[in-house]
Structure 1
Amino acid sequence: MSSRKVDLVAVMDHPPRVRALQRVLGAVDDDIDPVVDLWRPYLDGLDNLPPDGRFLLVGNHTQGGAEALLIPYAVRREIGVRVRPLADRQFGQMRGLPGDLLAAFGGVVGAPETARELMRHDETVLVFPGGGREIPKFKGEEYTLRWQGRSGFARIAVETGYPIIPVGLVGGDDVYRSLTPRDSAWGRFSQALSSRFGGRDDMAIPLMRGIGPTLIPRPERMYLRFGTPIDTSTPLGIDTTDWVEEVKRRTQTALEQILDDLLSLRETDPYRGLSPLAWSRAARP
């Protein structure tokens, strides 16, 4: 893993168009609380957030993408710090308006050296170890973590002594319904296309639908939970490589348990479809 130094000021020194977007997003941020309250997401575990903001959030990606907005929002609202999301290289290097919006939102390319520098400055960092490949879900893959070979987040957290907060979101994989499994004819064809034009077959796109046969997102309540902090300090007498794998295992186990618990909670929540008639009986933390 590279140890190349990164100038954080240079990384965050954006061109005027991005700074303009930052001002717009800041103004929206100040007035967004009533809008989110109307949406009424289920927010739990906020008392697990260290008030100094020095922690690494490790979450799951969903097809709806609500986690990328709701996690930073909830942290800012609770302890008043700005979250720095680490973007998959493929997304972090986007050009034009999408790339400008990502930068204005505080996102940076998820390179190890950038993460180290953010942590050296005690920034609050958010990472999705599955990266972009965890977003498109084929039938039967909802709320599963695709972390194969991804342990960099644990390695850097151990190096810097950063505590890890697992954070899980349920609801985002249900705004669209995948129609075919990965091993179907469409799945194989989509993987071949992804490999041919993108150089990687793990970005294959499933056949999906939202409301009815359309791609209009289904109304779904979002359920977000912040887990108990995981201490990454290396115990005496334990090999660092082994400890990194153990931290990764503990984080993945904790996040999978959060997702299982939220899925069970949602099963009995009459407000899961955002029906206003069921609000009075909605599940609350």
Structure 2
Amino acid sequence: MGFGPPQGRPTVTDDEIAAIMNQSPRVRTLRNMLGATGDALNPLIDLYRPWVTGLDRLPRDGRFLLVGNHTAFGFAEVVLVPYYTRRELGVRVRTLAERALGQMSGLGGDLVAAYGGVVGHPDTARELMRHNETVLVFPGGGREMPKFKGDEYQLKWDGRSGFARVAIESGYPIVPVGLVGSDDVYEPLFGRDSTLGRLSQSIGERLGGPPDMAMPLVRGIGPTLIPRPQRMYLEFGEPISTTAPSRTDHSGWVETVKSTTQQALEQILAALQEIRAGDPYRSLNPLAWARAAQPSEPVTQAG
């Protein structure tokens, strides 16, 4: 989920913008239902003891751009980042989604819209920011999700800086947010540059997709596809100002903000992996959940 440079991308129509900002009664009803469900899920999510830190760093006015990493299946981060932001600030997060997802019709499309998903396009982001909405983007988009062995928690932005450009134009600070844990639910069986990895990419390309979107073979518990229980580690970083110093070249400043954000997110992911490596509860042993350490406690001293 995300958007890249505007060149060559279909424009977002006025009707699409209107639909995003003035949602139908059905979408508003679903949104209220999801909000109530989210509140009811608080005890269940707390039971799984996700390790969450940095919520106190979020700008209190809700006017900021969250920039995150996509994990192998793009699910945990899409749920947990908006969930904890809403729980902390009481605001709805608008997630910039791939065009096909953002334009879904029927109940599926209504659910995406109710949860805050919108078409990932610079024009959409600008309109949301004009209305002071909290926005979430994954600059790597779908290309960041296929994880071969060794690809875990690697950012694949491929020079994408559209998020930085729009944030600068709108005067939006950027909050990097990293998630670790989801890439370990399944274990990739081979590397991208291995013989089987190259074969997988070749097959994906022949089927009409780009090589970097090829899906690797994975395993869960033992040789099965049963997902391995894994604790999630989520950190919201320090806000990054997008206000340019005086007499700064615009294109150079866009690249500076993009690089600063990427480096901050990479540092968050490295720190979370280190925390996870020393956490005796990372595999979510049900008998030990109640003793799992939280950010206010040293993880290595848990239990």
TM (normalized to structure 1)? Answer: 0.92
What secondary structure does 2:175 align onto?
Answer: strand
Deviations 1:166-219 (A, max 9, x none): 000000100111111112333223323433444422211010111122222110
Q: Give the alignment partner of residue 184 of structure 2, picking from 141, 149, 174.
A: 174
Distance 1:96 1:10, change over 3 A: closer
- The number of residue pairs the alignment matches comes to 285
2:47 aligned residue (29, 38, 41): 38
CA deviation map 1:20-40 (0-9, x unaligned)? 543442331231111111111
Cα 1:281–1:23 change in 2 (3 A) is closer
Structure 1's unaligned 5+ residue stretches are: none
SS in structure 2 of the partner of residue 155 of structure 1? helix
1:11 lines up with 2:20 in the alignment: yes
Q: How far 1:275 sits from its partner (Å)? A: 1.3
Paired residue for 2:78, among 65, 68, 81? 68
1:195 and 2:205 equivalent?
yes
Question: 1:216-236 deviations in whole A, cap 9, x for unaligned?
Answer: 211000000000000000111
Are the counterparts in 1 of residues 47 and 289 from structure 2 also a CA contact under 8 Å?
Answer: no
Match 1:84 to one of 60, 85, 94: 94
8 A Cα contact 1:86 1:127, kept in partner: yes
- 1:56–1:157 Cα contact (<8 Å) kept: yes
Report if aligned partners of 1:6, 1:114 keep a CA contact under 8 Å in 2.
no
Question: 2:237 corresponds to which residue?
Answer: 227
**Corresponding residue of 1:147:** 157
Amino acid at match of 2:238: T
Residue type matched to 2:280 in 1? P
1:270, 1:278 within 8 Å by CA — same for their partners in 2?
A: no
In 2, Cα distance between the equivalents of 1:198 and 1:98?
25
Q: Does residue 68 of structure 2 align to residue 59 of structure 1? A: yes
Q: Is the 8 A contact 2:129 2:170 kept in 1?
A: yes
Deviation string 1:121-156 (CA, Å, 9 cap, x unpaired) is 000000000001111101100000001121100111
- CA distance in 2 between counterparts of 1:243 and 1:103 reads 33
2: CA distance, partners of 1:4 / 1:220:
38
Letter in 1 for 2:160: R
Following superposition, the deviation at residue 4 of structure 1 comes to 6.8
Letter in 2 for 1:214: T
Q: 1:242 to 1:6 in 2, by over 3 A?
A: farther
The 1:187/1:100 distance shift into structure 2, 3 A limit, reads farther
**Which residue identity lines up with residue 157 of structure 2 in the other structure?**
W
RMSD: 2.1
Contact 1:179 1:207 in 2 (8 A): yes
Task: Give the Cα–Cα distance (whole angstroms) in 2 for the partners of residues 230 and 112 of structure 1.
Answer: 19
Give the alignment's TM-score, normalised by structure 2.
0.87
Structure 2 stretches of 5 or more lacking a match? 1-5, 296-303
Q: Is the 8 A contact 2:70 2:138 kept in 1?
A: yes
The answer to whether the Cα contact below 8 Å between 1:54 and 1:162 also exists between their aligned partners in 2 is: yes
Find 1:272's aligned residue among 279, 282, 292: 282
Letter of the 2:278 partner, please give it. Answer: T
